[in-house]
Amino acid sequence: MNELVPGGNVPLPSGTLTIRVPGPFDVSALVTDDTGKVRGDADFVFYNQPTAPGARLAGDTLTVDPPGLRPGATRLTVAISPAEPGTPLGHLPGPTLLVTGRDGRTLARFTPPRPRSETVLLLAELYRKGADWKIRALGQGYADGLAGVARDFGVEVLEDATAGARRQGRGELRDQPPPTRTRPTPPPSPTSLPTHFIDLVNSTRATAGSPPVAPDARLSTAAQAHATAMAAHGRLASESDGLSVHQRVTSTGYAYLTIGEHLVSGPRTPAEFVDYCRSDPKARRTLCEPACIQAGLGHATDPRSGTVYWTALWAQPFSPAGLHRTATDVITLTNGERARAGLPPLSPDPHLTDAAQAHSADMVARAFYAHTSPDGGEPWHRAAAAGSTRRSIGENIACGQRSAAEVVLGWMNSPGHRANILKPGFTHIGIGFVGGGAAGTYWTQLFGG
C-alpha cells in the first residue's frame, strides 16, 4: 500500500475503485476535463445527487470506474465537508482517504495535515495520464466553504436570501443545506417509533434520574435493518449478513460517542419489550444510561417460527466538544492512576493526539485491531508521521468499552497496558476514539517521552 503525502501520486490499476473517508464527513466529487472546470450540474456527485456516469456515492464510500466517466472527463476530485454544516474541520477527527482496488486490496492512503478553520477540503484527484489513471493527494482547504470550491471549479455564485448561497452557471452547489436535507436512501420518519414506546422508556429513565431520549431516524433505520437480518436467519446475533449492528449505525451517517444496544427475541409488542428491559438488571442499565439521549427501534418476525426479533439502539451523537471531553476524561483517569503510583501527570500532546485518533479511525475503516497496521505501520511510525519528535513511544489500544472509566480500568487490569500507563519515562499522551466497526468503539492511547 502507498502512504501518500500532499502532491504525491501513484498509478491505479484498471477496474472499479472504492474511495472511503470514514468519519463525520460528507463526501462529494467533481468531474472535470483538462481545464479543471465542471460542465454542468451532472458533474457534481454529493448526498442529494449520488450518481453520475462512472461514479456512485453511498454514505462515506465513493465507487469510481474511471473509463466510465462522462465523455471528455479527465479528472475526478474528491472533497469532504462536515456532516454538520458550519463546523470547522479542525474540530473533527482528522480525515483519512482510503483507496481500494476491485480485488479488495488497499492501494493508497492519505491523511492530510490536520485542517484548522477550513470547512471544505479537497483530498485527492483521479486524473488520466495517457491511457492510464493515477491518483494525486491534494489536501487543499477552503475556509470560505463551497464558495471557494465553486470559484476554482468555474461555478458562478449568486446570493439568494431564501436558499443560501446558490451557484449558477456550470453547476449548482450550496454552502447551506436546503430546507430539507435528504440523502440517497431517506430513513423513515422519527415518528415511526411508537409514542407509547418512547413514553415508557422515558418514564423508566426519569425514575432512574436519567434525561429523556428522543427518537432518531438513522438509529431506527439501523435498528430495523438489524432486526430484519436476525429474523431472516432466525437467531439473535450482534453480527448478521456480515455486518455488525454498529456498522449498520455508521452506514446511515450517524456518528456517536456512546452507544448501547438491546438484541432481544420473544416480546410481541413495544410494551412487552420495555418490560423485559426493565426486568433484567443489565438491560435496565443500558436502557437508563444517562449519556444516551437518542434512540431507535426496529422489529421483525421470523415467518418460519413467528418469533419477533427486536433491536433497540441508544446513543449519544458525536460532537467535537464531546470527543474532547471523552479524551480529557481518559487523560484525567490515567493521571489519577499515575498519581497513586507517585508518578507525575502526562501532558496532552497534539501530535500524539492526531496519531492516536488516526489509528482508531484506521482500525474502524480497515476492519483490523492491532498495533501494527495492515501495511506494516507501527506506533512510532504513526507518531513521527503526525509530527512528533518524542524519543520513546508506547501505545495501548482497546475496543468495545463504552466509557472512559471502563477503558482505563481494562488497561489497568492488563499487565502490559498498565506498564505503559505507569512508565516513569513517559511525559506526554494523546487519545484517540472512534465509534463504529465490529466492536462498536475503538480506543488508542499513545504515549511519548
Longest Cα–Cα distance of the chain, Å, equals: 69
Give counts: helices (H), strands (E), the chain. 11, 25
Q: Supply the mean pLDDT for the chain.
A: 86
Per the model's pLDDT, the better-predicted residue between 73 and 22 turns out to be: 73
- Beta-carbon contacts of 42 under 8 Å, excluding residues fewer than 6 positions away, are 49, 52, 53, 70
> What's the mean pLDDT in 398-427?
94
Look-up of cell digits 472535470: 32
Where residue 169 falls (left for φ over 0; alpha for ψ -120 to 50; beta otherwise) is: left
For residue 141, name the pLDDT band (cuts at 50, 70, 90).
confident
Helix (H, G, I), strand (E, B) or coil at 253: coil
Grid coordinates representing 426 are: 513517559
Nearest CA among 319, 399, 361, 375 for reference residue 20 = 361
For residue 193, name the pLDDT band (cuts at 50, 70, 90).
low
- The β-bridge partners of 446 are 395, 430
CB 307 within 8 A of CB 244: no
Percent of the chain with pLDDT strictly greater than 70 = 89
Helix (H, G, I), strand (E, B) or coil at 97: strand
Please tell me which of 28-32, 137-141, 309-313, 372-376 the model is most confident about, judged by mean pLDDT.
Answer: 309-313
For residue 356, name the pLDDT band (cuts at 50, 70, 90).
very high
Helix (H, G, I), strand (E, B) or coil at 28: strand
For the cut 50, the answer to whether the pLDDT of residue 97 exceeds it is: yes
Q: Specify the pLDDT at position 5.
A: 81
Could you list the beta-strand ranges (E) of 340-439. 347-348, 393-399, 428-436
